[in-house]
Chains A and B, each alone.
Chain A
């Protein structure tokens, strides 16, 4: 496709949600008023995110799939000459899937929220914040300037803070404050690292710095800068032991907030590692990789054990909190893949990123729907003595939940499998100079983590989906248990793309790996292969 069209598409993907966010705050013009202002503004949200998704898909269609390593659709305009900060946008094989995933998940969230209005203050602000969040996330995947990356990274925090604080559940104020404090401190530390890289490297341009491959930075500078950047990104990813904001934030956030937080926001951390740390400070990445891998593996085991503890009967485990902890484990695989510094591992990490976005997004949607129906996400309350028997009471919902759970535990043939398999495969044969025995240990521990994951996911399925058929013994009448509505039409519309893509990515991983692999090879080799 024409280069200018691609440029415009990419710019539109970043700018449209921002404009839409402002437009959401002004009263609707005549003709677009719909049934009352609330409905009109929610519809506005669906329209804008839909247009953005269409633009993102068009961008992906026009993307030159023969050269995914090349930055495409680049725009490069000066913004602040005094600091040599430029508005540099571009997309390659690493960022394209994330862009599309973000646009998709935000669209599905807006669609879901349209039919299932979140309880809280004005929908106007909700839509404006959702669009602002989308713009920030898309911008952080599209920008190629370190300072702009930081701005986009930060831009996401404020809408997310308000989404949790205003539309969240119990303990939302504390959770929101904790979320903003952790991620903000993390990103300021990251800013210092970025500044160091930019000032020592003489430019903030990410393409130039990556092509330079750390050549202009002394070893010490690299170590200091990479430590700061990794620390900041690790809070976001989140890496054990910097994850403790995550379970609270997820538990308190509204459904749509949880979906976007897990599906998209966490990816910004790992994306930053691949895009910034690996190519710009390669020596430091080499030094820190074993530690990063160790933390990643601890995260995998820790997340799984926490989930197992929550899934136990009588533990008063919250289903949302459980999925949040499972995210810690899954992101552990992503970090492990990155820390192998091999193309295999990094490709696996990027694949697992996307897979986690699809599957965990779906799971949070399902749990949100369950909460709407039964009023609780507490596993003990849900399952009672024998199990919640979702298969019997709402078979489609139960089936989808079971599907999400087995996808999450990494069943071959679904999206969750390939990323984690490749990450472990990368750990089996790490990059030159990294201690092989250490990585073999990590691999063994990670494999053990997948077993634990399977265990708690199956426990959840057993307790939520299975159970006695809700018939009063002897009488043959329905038990006093309230009826659950099965999946509604709009819920099917919001969830089926995620299910379809999970299956597609599981059966045809080459579609995604073909995009990321050349770009990863180039990033690891430093700009030019």
Chain B
């Protein structure tokens, strides 16, 4: 090959940094492998698929390790300035860790649910892994097309996961509701993306940021509309008000592990996309999205807490419903630092504010998955999963009750859930630093209101069991023994509890993101 030809080849053919793209790729390949293996495995060996999926996710998470030494980029434009579609910087790595870890814990939760609900194993693991790979791709994407594709790769399998309980009316209804509202949001977002493209002539986030500083005045309205509409799609994923109506019904209709997955990984997808778009692509329009996100945050936490307060404990599925509304409220707290980034004076301040969201999200992922894990455990013995079913849990299963109490107190932000408290403090101080005093006040009020339902649930755990249930402890114990032991489920609870306790002892492990620049 002549030197001339080789230089032509490098300019046309991109060299792909496979190491950088390894985490999402491994997850996707593992998904395909599981799907193929499902064809050849006999029915009684199907549980091996689950372990295969877990191994795939663990491998994908391990693939993050070699990337820690510095930022790597790939899929770059070969002409002009250094612009890439995929960047594995600190932010991307942390969110990828969150997503893959969350998917791993979900997988651990799912073993017993697959058995109990008779879900098709091959499809389930394939869908979970594909969705996880999309979610892992998203935080590293640096152009709008990749972002939209990643978002859809993460979402489409999720619809199927929600509707996987065949023949269950609630499940199909939940999936349909989820699907319709999600598709609408995607359509709106695509419209926004096209407006932004029309106004700036680029899909790369950094180029959009440059171009938006000097938009043709005649296109200014178009650009503004594009910015707002793009945010709608991500706001839907984070389940921000007014795009939150699908949450309770979807969570209740879906198998509990899938609800856990949506509440953690689904939200991570939403807010990381929101962060990328706002901070990297639209910094010059901060005066448009800053106040919008702030109002969204205030509405989201207020609506979530108000609805959570109104849950009646004796209603069917009230525990999952309460967790659903609490996750809406928590999404509100996650949005606060993003709003604060819109008011930041410099890019560095904005990046620090984003760090608060990341720190909060890591805390939230661990403890919320833990709470769902205990809910999944209780759902095995009392399928209705009412809050009243948790009465006296401490007497029946002390360890699970203590763990759930700890998770709930973390979510509430009370000691001994120290990490919950300090994560809230960082979010709070991000709002104060940005001069968003009113938002800080709204948040404080919401935290106080939320204490009531978290505490009430915690107190129920330690109440004496219902007198009616007391005379017959032997048959219930017998029933628990006949069911296959949920070792992976127990492992998930233990892992999340260990993470929560470790973080409470050394909050700096996640809070350091709040004082460093990530993007």
A-side interface residues toward B, CB under 8 Å? 79-83, 85, 147, 151, 154-155, 158, 162, 165, 173, 177, 180-181, 184-185, 188-189, 192, 195, 199
CA distance A151 to B417 in the complex (A): 10
A188 touches B448 (CB 8 A): yes
8 pairs, CB–CB < 8 Å, chain A vs chain B: A82-B515, A83-B426, A180-B455, A181-B452, A185-B448, A188-B414, A192-B444, A195-B428
B414 touches A82 (CB 8 A): no
Given A151-B418, A188-B447, check contact A82 B511 (CB 8 Å).
Answer: yes
**Cβ distance A441 to chain B, nearest Cβ, rounded Å:** 36
Question: Considering the complex of A and B, which 9 residue pairs feature the smallest CB-CB distances, nearest first?
Answer: A82-B511, A82-B515, A154-B415, A80-B507, A80-B508, A82-B514, A192-B444, A151-B415, A188-B448
A165 touches B462 (CB 8 A): yes
A-B contact count (CB 8 A): 61
CA distance A85 to B507 in the complex (A): 10
Given A83-B429, A189-B448, check contact A162 B462 (CB 8 Å).
Answer: yes
Interface string of B440-479 (1 = CB under 8 A from A): 0000100110011001000100110000000000000000
From B418, B432, B447, B507, contact of A199 by CB (8 A): B432
B508 touches A185 (CB 8 A): no
Chain B residues near A188 (CB, 8 Å)?
Answer: 414, 447-448, 451
Chain B residues near A158 (CB, 8 Å)?
Answer: 415-416
Chain A residues near B428 (CB, 8 Å)?
Answer: 195
CA distance A305 to B426 in the complex (A): 47
Chain A residues near B414 (CB, 8 Å)?
Answer: 154, 184, 188
Look across to chain A and name the residue whose beta carbon is closest to the beta carbon of B429. A199
Q: Is the C-beta of B425 less than 8 angstroms from some C-beta in chain A?
A: yes
A83 touches B448 (CB 8 A): no
Chain A residues near B459 (CB, 8 Å)?
Answer: 177, 180
CA distance A81 to B432 in the complex (A): 18
Chain A residues near B166 (CB, 8 Å)?
Answer: none
Chain A residues near B418 (CB, 8 Å)?
Answer: 151
Interface centre among B425, B448, B452, B515 (most CB of A within 10 A): B425
Chain B residues near A79 (CB, 8 Å)?
Answer: 507-508
CA distance A165 to B452 in the complex (A): 18
CA distance A268 to B432 in the complex (A): 29
CA distance A177 to B444 in the complex (A): 22
CA distance A180 to B429 in the complex (A): 27
Q: Is the C-beta of B422 less than 8 angstroms from some C-beta in chain A?
A: yes
Q: Is the C-beta of B312 less than 8 angstroms from some C-beta in chain A?
A: no
**Cβ distance B58 to chain A, nearest Cβ, rounded Å:** 29
**Cβ distance B309 to chain A, nearest Cβ, rounded Å:** 14
Q: Is the C-beta of B512 less than 8 angstroms from some C-beta in chain A?
A: yes
From A81, A147, A173, A180, contact of B515 by CB (8 A): A81
Instruction: Known A-B contacts: A85-B422, A155-B415. Give 10 more (CB < 8 A).
Output: A82-B511, A82-B514, A83-B429, A83-B514, A147-B422, A177-B459, A189-B448, A195-B428, A199-B432, A199-B433
CA distance A81 to B514 in the complex (A): 10
CA distance A82 to B510 in the complex (A): 9
From A155, A162, A177, A185, contact of B416 by CB (8 A): A155
From B425, B455, B462, B463, contact of A195 by CB (8 A): B425
CA distance A162 to B464 in the complex (A): 12
Interface centre among A83, A85, A147, A185 (most CB of B within 10 A): A83
CA distance A195 to B448 in the complex (A): 15
CA distance A162 to B508 in the complex (A): 30
CA distance A397 to B326 in the complex (A): 54
Given A154-B414, A155-B416, A158-B416, check contact A82 B426 (CB 8 Å).
Answer: yes
Chain A residues near B512 (CB, 8 Å)?
Answer: 81-82
A181 touches B455 (CB 8 A): yes
Chain B residues near A80 (CB, 8 Å)?
Answer: 422, 507-508, 511
B508 touches A184 (CB 8 A): no
CA distance A79 to B415 in the complex (A): 16
CA distance A83 to B429 in the complex (A): 9
Look across to chain A and name the residue whose beta carbon is closest to the beta carbon of B515. A82
Look across to chain B and name the residue whose beta carbon is closest to the beta carbon of A196. B432
CA distance A295 to B414 in the complex (A): 29
Chain A residues near B515 (CB, 8 Å)?
Answer: 81-82
Look across to chain A and name the residue whose beta carbon is closest to the beta carbon of B433. A199
Look across to chain B and name the residue whose beta carbon is closest to the beta carbon of A165. B462
CA distance A199 to B437 in the complex (A): 12
Chain A residues near B444 (CB, 8 Å)?
Answer: 192
**Cβ distance B230 to chain A, nearest Cβ, rounded Å:** 31
Look across to chain B and name the residue whose beta carbon is closest to the beta carbon of A155. B415
CA distance A162 to B433 in the complex (A): 39
A195 touches B429 (CB 8 A): yes
Chain A residues near B433 (CB, 8 Å)?
Answer: 199
**Cβ distance B448 to chain A, nearest Cβ, rounded Å:** 5
Look across to chain B and name the residue whose beta carbon is closest to the beta carbon of A188. B448
From A151, A173, A184, contact of B463 by CB (8 A): A173
List B462-500 residues whose CB lies under 8 Å from chain A. 462-463
From B415, B451, B511, contact of A83 by CB (8 A): B511
**Cβ distance B501 to chain A, nearest Cβ, rounded Å:** 12
**Cβ distance B409 to chain A, nearest Cβ, rounded Å:** 9
**Cβ distance A480 to chain B, nearest Cβ, rounded Å:** 37
Look across to chain A and name the residue whose beta carbon is closest to the beta carbon of B418. A151
CA distance A489 to B418 in the complex (A): 43
CA distance A155 to B428 in the complex (A): 22
**Cβ distance B223 to chain A, nearest Cβ, rounded Å:** 36
Look across to chain B and name the residue whose beta carbon is closest to the beta carbon of A153. B415
Given A184-B451, A189-B448, check contact A82 B508 (CB 8 Å).
Answer: yes
CA distance A151 to B413 in the complex (A): 11
Chain B residues near A151 (CB, 8 Å)?
Answer: 415, 418, 421
Chain A residues near B415 (CB, 8 Å)?
Answer: 151, 154-155, 158
**Cβ distance B424 to chain A, nearest Cβ, rounded Å:** 10
Look across to chain B and name the residue whose beta carbon is closest to the beta carbon of A176. B459
Chain B residues near A173 (CB, 8 Å)?
Answer: 463
CA distance A151 to B425 in the complex (A): 13
From A154, A184, A192, contact of B455 by CB (8 A): A184
**Cβ distance B345 to chain A, nearest Cβ, rounded Å:** 17
CA distance A155 to B415 in the complex (A): 6
Chain B residues near A83 (CB, 8 Å)?
Answer: 422, 425-426, 429, 507, 511, 514
Chain B residues near A180 (CB, 8 Å)?
Answer: 455, 459
CA distance A378 to B459 in the complex (A): 30
CA distance A29 to B364 in the complex (A): 39
CA distance A177 to B426 in the complex (A): 30
B429 touches A81 (CB 8 A): no
**Cβ distance A147 to chain B, nearest Cβ, rounded Å:** 8
**Cβ distance B315 to chain A, nearest Cβ, rounded Å:** 22
Look across to chain B and name the residue whose beta carbon is closest to the beta carbon of A228. B444
CA distance A147 to B447 in the complex (A): 17
CA distance A158 to B462 in the complex (A): 12
Chain A residues near B422 (CB, 8 Å)?
Answer: 80, 83, 85, 147
**Cβ distance A122 to chain B, nearest Cβ, rounded Å:** 11
**Cβ distance A497 to chain B, nearest Cβ, rounded Å:** 32
B511 touches A185 (CB 8 A): no
CA distance A165 to B455 in the complex (A): 14
**Cβ distance A245 to chain B, nearest Cβ, rounded Å:** 14
CA distance A83 to B433 in the complex (A): 13
CA distance A59 to B426 in the complex (A): 36
